[in-house]
Amino acid sequence: MVEKIISFSLRNRFIVLLFAAGFFGWGLYSVKTSKIDAIPDLSENQVIVFTEWMGRSPQIIEDQITYPLVTNLQGLPKVNYVRANSMFGMSFIYIIFEDDVDVYWARSRVLERLNSIGNVLPEGVSPTLGPDGTGVGHVLWYTLEAPGMDLGEQRAVQDWYIKFALQNVAGVSEIASFGGFQKQYQISIDPNRLTYYKLSIQDVMQAVKSNNNEAGGRKFEMSGIGYIIKTSGYLKSIEEIENLAVRTQNSIPVKIKDIGTVQMAGESRLGIFDYNGEGEAVGGIVVLRYGENADEVIRKVKTKMTEVAKGLPQGMKFNIVYDRGELIAESISSIKTTLIEEMIVVSLIVIIFLFHWRSAISIIIQIPITIAASFILLNAFDISSNIMSLTGIALAIGVIVDNGIIMAENSYKNLAVRQAELNEQRKGGNADVE
């Protein structure tokens, strides 16, 4: 078989050269379109189910949320195992699928099972799927520099402006906010007043809930004009909450302000984010979507951040604290330099040892063609160009030229033997003539 291929190649040199040129062009195109990252993604193929039930202890979370979810999520097709973690107010469940399973197919199966769970969980508790990212999906971290602005205002800008803008970038799975205070209205109840008016916490909660709502009306016509009736009942200020009536006693309404105080404050936190020991900071984490090109997504996010910065409050700006793009650039640059150096060194060694430029060129030309062709396989198997895959190519350069050297040496040997035979025949012929 090998002899036939060699024989065919020798007889059809133009076809072989044309095929090699086309292969090389395809390889160059694959180099340009290859996904670039600093490190390979070796994380497991998993789907995360997150459930929040604030104020409950880890044991309650384990008994009423984590255990029912784990038992119902087991038995999904192509699942290796299910892990779970319960903490204060939160439950995390990790469903690990087989490596060859499409991540979005897996998310669909998990979502179908969650929709069929029914009334297993406590009232008001709703599990949600985690982002469609991976364990190495944190590609960029940033904080907001805003001297003189309180942490609550910074977090509001992050949650209601920056986050929504950056999430629209193609390839971004999630913008996870951190730091600062999430603003909320808080009602501080005086227990003595609550007892005096013979009220309970449930009465206060029901009063706030029923008054913070809108109800639809109907359409009616009057004097040939159609009117649509609706009620506007959403609470918009501290004063409106203070004036809500919880109960009426002796024709006198008992209002929220009679039993406690209302204030705007931050949600209780389980931790803080400190930047370089200079104090608390507010920022976000850009999570890469599964299977995306990290280098391209980072560049798009930075471009979007430049646009978003134009609408930030005066004095506020972005401060990038972690950028994998720099690591990617340094890694690829280092590997690229190593590849070029190895190609030059191998070429020189081949030229010196063979000392025949035509044979050396036939061997050296294999190096760029083979390296370019390797990127075709990387794209075919959806493997990113990272420090591991490129290092493997660099290590294989010596192996690439081995076959060419062996073929050249074998050809020289056969030609030398044949030449010696021809010389012997000529000497024998000359002796007969004499």
- In the chain, helix, strand, coil percent, each to 5? 50, 20, 30
- pLDDT per residue rounded down to tens, the chain (434 residues): 777 887 887 788 888 889 888 888 998 888 888 888 888 878 888 999 999 988 889 999 999 999 999 999 988 999 998 999 999 889 999 999 998 899 999 999 999 999 888 778 888 888 999 888 888 888 999 999 988 888 889 999 999 999 999 999 999 999 999 988 888 888 999 999 988 888 888 899 888 888 888 776 777 787 778 877 777 778 888 898 898 898 888 888 999 999 999 988 888 777 888 888 888 899 999 999 988 888 899 999 999 999 999 999 988 999 999 998 888 888 878 877 877 887 788 778 777 777 777 777 777 788 888 888 888 888 888 888 888 888 887 777 777 777 777 777 777 777 778 778 777 777 766 555 55
Contact 171, 293 (CB under 8 A): yes
Dist. CA 259–CA 243, nearest whole Å: 11
Task: Output the CA–CA distances (angstroms, integers) from residue 363 to 13, 145, 201, 349, in the order listed.
Answer: 16, 57, 84, 11
Nearest to 376 by CA among 25, 9, 10, 1: 25
Q: How far is CA 30 from the centre of its chain?
A: 22
Q: How many residues comprise the chain?
A: 434
**What pLDDT, on a 0 to 100 scale, did the predictor assign at position 48?**
93
H-state helical runs in 250-323? 256-259, 294-309
Tokens of 148: 């003189």
Other CB atoms within 10 Å distance of the CB of residue 99:
9
Contact 313, 303 (CB under 8 A): no
**What pLDDT, on a 0 to 100 scale, did the predictor assign at position 221?**
81
Tokens of 60: 């309650």
Backbone angles phi, psi at 53, to 5 degrees: -145, 80
**What pLDDT, on a 0 to 100 scale, did the predictor assign at position 308?**
93
